[in-house]
Amino acid sequence: MNALLTHKNAFVTGATSGIGRATALRFVREGARVAAVGRNASALAELVELAKAASKDGPDRVVPITADLTSDAARAAAVDQARRALGGIDVLVNAAGILEGGSVEATDLARFDHSMDVNLRVPFDLLRRLLPDLIERKGNVVNVSSVTGTRAFPGVVAYCVSKAALDQLTRCAALELAPRGVRVNAVNPGVVRTGLHRNGGMTEDAYQAFLERSKETHPLGRVGTPDEVAAAIAFLASDQAGWITAATLPIDGGRAETCAR
């Protein structure tokens, strides 16, 4: 069986952990070359080593790019570096994101703006910067959204709003770019075992209790894994999904159907 992404070049953000790292490795296994973008240089170096094990020619398949994508200059430099190294980009995967807790009352404008910056403004600007490549190569975009983009949950207002906006960006861009041959889709995971919640300030004890509770809130009775989400991203990025655009795909064990339960 042929690999899904042979001869594809991908630009993957958030590649140092969680869904982003799993996606970068899955893309390598599926035959792609990957510009792997993240803030942690040592984690990117580890990713390169993991890619060697995932592919016989792994060292040439991952281009590590250390960048803080909240900087306009860093985004421009990362895109330029990826183009020089790979010769053009076929797939953009916006996997970098943050989760900041807080109710409407407790979320100040600085926290709200930071969530919108990382979860929405950065993906939008990367799409704009890579659009010439995507149009020329008939490429596609996969945004990593969340079940909170389609359903409301208390205590995470900035996160919910930013992911709902990312879903709408996905649909709007898909309609505008379809005549140019560019597809735009999103995946909407439920709870996935990554560092997202702990990075957002959740203590280890609270996180373990949250995972236990998630067995009840997800109808399939468990949380997801980064590899499960990465497999769906790889499919959407492949030519096998060539008639799919503007989709926001739940990968959530049924969580979206239970809403705030």
pLDDT digits (tens, 9 = 90+) for 139-150: 999 999 999 999
Distance (Å, whole) CA 171 – CA 9 = 23
Instruction: Check residue 75 and give its pLDDT.
Output: 98
Instruction: Check residue 201 and give its pLDDT.
Output: 66
Tell me which of 20, 61, 63, 159 is the catalytic residue: 159
Distance (Å, whole) CA 115 – CA 119 = 6
- Which pTM value belongs to this model? 0.93
Which residue type, as a one-letter code, is found at position 179? P
Backbone phi and psi for residue 184, each to the nearest 5 degrees, phi listed first? -135, 120
Contact 20, 187 (CB under 8 A): no
> Is the four-CA dihedral 104, 107, 110, 111 of positive or negative sign?
negative
Spell out, as residue ranges, where the chain has pLDDT lower than 50.
none
Cα separations (Å) of 38 from 12, 20, 35, 150, 153?
9, 9, 10, 27, 28
Q: pLDDT, tens digit, for every residue of 193-247?
A: 776 666 766 777 777 776 788 788 888 999 899 999 999 999 999 999 999 999 9
Instruction: Check residue 59 and give its pLDDT.
Output: 53
> Is the four-CA dihedral 225, 231, 234, 236 of positive or negative sign?
negative
Instruction: Check residue 208 and give its pLDDT.
Output: 77
| 159 noted as active-site residue | yes
Domains in the chain and their CATH numbers? 9-197+226-248 (3.40.50.720)
